[in-house]
A = this chain, B = another copy of it.
């Protein structure tokens, strides 16, 4: 059984070897650029891991794993335009370094490239793999659109929010594991179970991210603590607080949400206070645990040797206790 860290190195190596035509430069250079600025290569490594756990040959899964990495970076390239984000992993985003047109078109070309890489599987599983990939891609587009629409709305429900994070981030984790398992030779039921494991783990992970934004250790949390609060981001915590807030709390919350100018530290402190009064952290942790439990139920049911499942269990545990 291969280790995830080993597989991440394998992917890093394979990403480094991806090469694109020199012409037209403004189409292909941004692709090499965004792929070079890194990330942990967690998704493609997990695709390899799933393949390996089911007894497949990891070498035959490398190109589909790269497809996931290229696809993920395509969505980042387009999301960054939509979010007007100046930085990605500490480096200038493609639409900043070049321009929005270049980022639109290079992203489109990456999507095609992802399809091409995903096709590097045996004929016997080609349709199955591409079906999963297309469903995943549609989900990610839907999730991003729903997320954008939330910015204009003040009545987002917890159910809608969970559905959004499921689509925007969790289905890609599920789809990645499913494709890896199919390449590894998993039966359809097991492929569906590892998909469910991934989707539910992804939701739990995103809920944890919401919690860490407010309650994370500033030393360990990679982003600015309270960033979601400052930007009025509709996270699980804010949505739940808006649901539970009584008169005075509701008024204070809304004042902060509507304030055009404010001291950021003061806003973070005030809203965190309301969260504390309403036990929002406990609500969020309970929801996170619910999805973690669902992930583990799916995992338990997979027809794999116990040590293989334990590896995934340990991985999930590690993911869900992080403070960064």
Query: Which of A's residues lie within 8 Å of B, judged by CB?
Result: 24, 26-27, 78, 81-82, 100-102, 104-105, 107-109, 111-113, 115-116, 119, 123, 126-127, 130-131, 134, 137-138, 141-142, 144-146, 148-149
Residues of B within 8 A of A142 (CB): 24, 27, 109
Contact of A141 with B109 in the complex, beta carbons under 8 Å? yes
Residues of B within 8 A of A145 (CB): 24, 26-27, 102, 105
Which B-chain residue is minimally distant from A146 (CB atoms)? B24
Whole-angstrom distance between the alpha carbons of A145 and B104 in the complex?
10
Task: Beyond A78-B105, A111-B112, A126-B127, list 19 extra A-B contacts (CB 8 Å).
Answer: A24-B142, A26-B148, A26-B149, A78-B104, A81-B104, A82-B104, A104-B104, A105-B141, A105-B144, A105-B145, A105-B148, A108-B111, A109-B142, A112-B137, A115-B130, A115-B134, A119-B134, A123-B123, A123-B127
Residues of B within 8 A of A101 (CB): 81-82, 148
Which B-chain residue is minimally distant from A130 (CB atoms)? B119
Residues of B within 8 A of A112 (CB): 111, 134, 137-138, 141
Residues of B within 8 A of A144 (CB): 105
Residues of B within 8 A of A109 (CB): 138, 141-142
Which B-chain residue is minimally distant from A136 (CB atoms)? B112
Residues of B within 8 A of A78 (CB): 104-105, 108
Contact of A108 with B149 in the complex, beta carbons under 8 Å? no
Residues of B within 8 A of A126 (CB): 126-127
Whole-angstrom distance between the alpha carbons of A107 and B137 in the complex?
12
A183 CB to nearest B CB, Å = 16
Whole-angstrom distance between the alpha carbons of A141 and B26 in the complex?
11
Whole-angstrom distance between the alpha carbons of A108 and B110 in the complex?
11
A94 CB to nearest B CB, Å = 13
Which B-chain residue is minimally distant from A103 (CB atoms)? B104
A23 CB to nearest B CB, Å = 8
A87 CB to nearest B CB, Å = 19
A134 touches which one: B102, B116, B146 (CB < 8 A)?
Answer: B116
A265 CB to nearest B CB, Å = 31
Which of A107, A111, A112 is packed against the most chain B CB atoms within 10 Å?
Answer: A112
A103 CB to nearest B CB, Å = 9
A218 CB to nearest B CB, Å = 32
A110 CB to nearest B CB, Å = 9
Whole-angstrom distance between the alpha carbons of A205 and B76 in the complex?
37
Residues of B within 8 A of A141 (CB): 27, 105, 108-109, 112
A268 CB to nearest B CB, Å = 28
Which B-chain residue is minimally distant from A27 (CB atoms)? B145
